[in-house]
Each structure stands twice: as structure tokens, then as C-alpha cells.
Amino acid sequence: MRLMESVIEEIKAETEKQSPPHGEAKAGSSTLPPVKSKTNFIEADKYFLPFELACQSKCPRIVSTSLDCLQKLIAYGHLTGNAPDSTTPGKKLIDRIIETICGCFQGPQTDEGVQLQIIK
């Protein structure tokens, strides 16, 4: 829990650093917008660990939420997996991301919501 809170605080701080001054209008919504440029861009690769731990929790609601967040981070280009995997030398983080997502499938007894998120 504290790990997730510290990650959220770190992301907020990074976002505030990159946000425009108060006088400027802010385009977009509260969800992560598609990446258009490197300005206002958060490299989410370093925040993968909490999602990995959530996927290992075996609680369908937590796993489904984590997979949904991972899907959005990847779809919007914030999580690329291009960084080297800190746990396995010679591998990229994307390999660990794929293994984590695939590891959520526990056979036919896997929660339907989790299965749907794996497919996404």
C-alpha cells in the first residue's frame, strides 16, 4: 500500500513539474492523453513494479484493475518497456510486462473480468 502511495505522489510531483503555468488553459481530460510530444510526458517504465505486484495478488478485482491500468499506459505510449529489466540482465522490461500479464491467466477458473483484461 505504501509503495502505491509513494508512486502516486511521485507521479503527481512529476506532473506538476511539467504542467503549464496557472494562466494557461490545459487541453485534454483527467485521463492520460495520447502522447503528442516529449513535453508533458511521463515515462512510466519506472513505475511498473506496483502493477506487477498487484497482478500477483490473485485477487480478481485488484488484478483486473492493474491490467486495465497497464493497458491504458501501454496504449497511450507512457509504458514502452524499452528500458532494460533491472531483475534480469540482458532482457528488456517489455518481456517482464508480457510475462506478468500472461501470468494472470490461471486456467479455465480464471475470473472472466481478468480474462477480458488479459485479452485487451
SS3 3: helix
Q: For residue 34, with 0-12 CB atoms within 10 Å meaning exposed, 13-18 middle and 19 or more buried, which class applies?
A: exposed
Instruction: Quote the pLDDT of residue 1.
Output: 56
pLDDT digits (tens, 9 = 90+) for 19-50: 655 555 445 445 555 555 554 556 777 888 89
- Contact criterion met (CB below 8 Å) for 72 and 81: no
d(CA 32, CA 41): 10
Instruction: Quote the pLDDT of residue 111.
Output: 94
* pTM: predicted TM-score of the whole model, two decimal places: 0.69
- Identity (one letter) of the amino acid at 79? L
d(CA 96, CA 52): 9
Instruction: Quote the pLDDT of residue 118.
Output: 93
User: Which parts of the chain sit beneath pLDDT 50?
Assistant: 25-26, 28-29, 39
- The rounded percent of the chain whose pLDDT value lies above 70 is 72
Instruction: Quote the pLDDT of residue 4.
Output: 63
